[in-house]
Amino acid sequence: MPAATEYRYNRLTWPEINDAVAAQKLVILPTGSTEQHGAHLPLDVDVFLCESVCLEVGRRAPDKVLVLPPIAYGLNLHHIDFPGTIHIEPETFIAFCLNITKSVAYHGFKKILLVNGHGSNQPLIDLVARKTVLATESLCFATGYFLFLLEKFKEIRETEIIAHADEFETSLYLHLAPERVQMDKAVADNDRMGEFTSSDSTGNYPVRFNDFWGRWTRTGVHGDPTKATAEKGKIVFEAAVSGLVALVDELRAWPIEKRADMHKLPVQSQIRW
């Protein structure tokens, strides 16, 4: 039955989607961006890396997941001084993604997972997941694929900063498509850092802040891509994929309890938020 072996959502027909709903496959939505990533990487880094990880999760668990076509655009106005970057307003992004998760829920899928590959989308997909839970009878979870490889990357990394077009992203791209990485153009760069604040809000700063990148970098890089290798990329790819495959099992088994109502008197259940 195709629904048991096909992991790409839009390769199924509508009768096969009925089978996939009956099997309660977890539906994955990858989210990325079209954004400058220094002079050495193409604009598709965030969406290409994220989708590649999600599709490999699908290949390894084809009976458990369906991967939707990715969102290739995100919140990016802070990168707009660099040619090619596409920006989507956060409200538009949230509304667009929510329409997708609600459609998936409408068809009967009970578990949805948003897997993000673009840092600035992270607070937005958190909201999409929460709004989906509150508006539907399905459960929607949000994560970033990079969260599943950090521990492994700590063992092999040569530089401190994990941010943008850096050692990590460049390594992963080198593993997946080395012919598209121009390592001769890779340079290291850093953001502006104070005691409590940094201009790219990366790391453990207590203040969240993201300045226009045109104010503090001329390269568009945050981190050191010159230390990137395909070998490191292979290790972190494996870590991300195996972590997410384990997450799939956890989420598919997550119970959807009946809500208990603690009111003594009738509530105004017609109210809609």
Residues 187 and 225 sit within 8 Å (Cβ to Cβ) = yes
User: Which has the closest alpha carbon to 41: 186, 153, 163?
Assistant: 186
User: Measured from the CB of residue 115, what is the shortest distance to Zn ion in angstroms?
Assistant: 14
Beta bridge partner(s), residue 139: 111
**Binding string, residues 167-206; x marks residues near Zn ion by CB under 5 A:** ----------------------------------------
45 binds Zn ion (CB under 5 A): yes
Kindly state the tokens that stand for 18: 């009925």
The dihedral region occupied by 162, where left means phi > 0, alpha psi between -120 and 50, and beta the remainder, is: beta
Among the listed ranges 39-47, 151-159, 217-225, 253-261, the one in contact with Zn ion (CB under 5 A) is 39-47
Kindly state the tokens that stand for 139: 């459960």
Q: Closer to Zn ion by CB, 16 or 81: give it.
A: 81
Q: Closer to Zn ion by CB, 45 or 71: give it.
A: 45
Rounded CA gap, 63 and 236, in Å?
24
Q: Closer to Zn ion by CB, 42 or 108: give it.
A: 42
Of these, 44, 46, 166, 224, which contacts Zn ion (CB under 5 A)? 46
Q: Is 178 helix (H, G, I), strand (E, B) or coil?
A: helix
Q: Closer to Zn ion by CB, 85 or 132: give it.
A: 85
Greatest CA separation found in the chain? Answer: 70
Using CB positions, name the residue nearest to Zn ion.
46
User: In terms of C-beta density within 10 A (0-12 exposed, 13-18 middle, 19 or more buried), how is residue 227 classed?
Assistant: middle
User: Measured from the CB of residue 24, what is the shortest distance to Zn ion in angstroms?
Assistant: 32
Q: Closer to Zn ion by CB, 46 or 191: give it.
A: 46
44 binds Zn ion (CB under 5 A): no
User: Measured from the CB of residue 147, what is the shortest distance to Zn ion in angstroms?
Assistant: 14
User: Measured from the CB of residue 257, what is the shortest distance to Zn ion in angstroms?
Assistant: 37
Among the listed ranges 10-18, 41-49, 121-129, 203-211, the one in contact with Zn ion (CB under 5 A) is 41-49
Q: Is 221 helix (H, G, I), strand (E, B) or coil?
A: coil
Q: Closer to Zn ion by CB, 186 or 251: give it.
A: 186
Q: Give the β-pairing of 111-116 and 26-31.
A: parallel
Q: Is 224 helix (H, G, I), strand (E, B) or coil?
A: coil
Interface positions with Zn ion (CB under 5 A):
45-46
